[in-house]
Amino acid sequence: MNFYTISQLSQEFDISTRTIRYYEERGLIVPIRTESGQRLYTKKDRAVLKLILRGKRFGFSLEEIHEMISLFDKDRTGRKQLEKTIEYGEQKLKEVKERIDDWLQLKHEMETILEDFKTRLEELEGSE
């Protein structure tokens, strides 16, 4: 297995090292350490980082992201655990669907307004 240093990840994802350490502060990533204390990140850590950044783009808070990650990261071997995860996932999925509907409606309204404006512009240009 090979590792990434903090600056390698920081460059790859175009974020500061402070940001990466901050995610660790909040318990989202936990890299291993060399004897001297330097952080080393595994492929999995890198994947988690990717997830965090993606979650951020969707507007989720670090706390929400943490919740999701830790839930999907726990061992879901037990039936109870699996059921809980599915329940949580379905709740989140519902929220996502609602979000999509909201966005679709917004899109529709914007299109309507734009059409209206374009019509007006044409009228203006026709009367010149």
Our finding on whether 92 is near a copy of itself (CB under 8 A) is yes
The stretch among 11-19, 23-31, 39-47, 113-121 that binds a copy of itself (CB under 8 A) is 113-121
Dist CA 112 CA 109 (whole Å): 5
Our finding on whether 37 is near DNA (CB under 7 A) is yes
Q: Contacts from 59-63 at CB under 8 Å and sequence distance 24+?
A: 62/23, 62/26, 62/28, 63/26
CB of 42 within 8 A of CB of 76? no
82 binds, among DNA, a copy of itself, none (CB under 5 to 8 A by kind): a copy of itself
Dist CA 83 CA 50 (whole Å): 26
Shortest distance, CB of residue 8 to DNA, whole angstroms?
A: 6
**Which residue in the block uniquely carries the two structure tokens 């318990």?**
27
79 binds, among DNA, a copy of itself, none (CB under 5 to 8 A by kind): a copy of itself
Residues found in the chain: 128
Our finding on whether 54 is near DNA (CB under 7 A) is no
Which residues of this chain interact with DNA, rule CB under 7 A?
A: 5-8, 15-19, 21-22, 26, 34-39, 56, 61-63
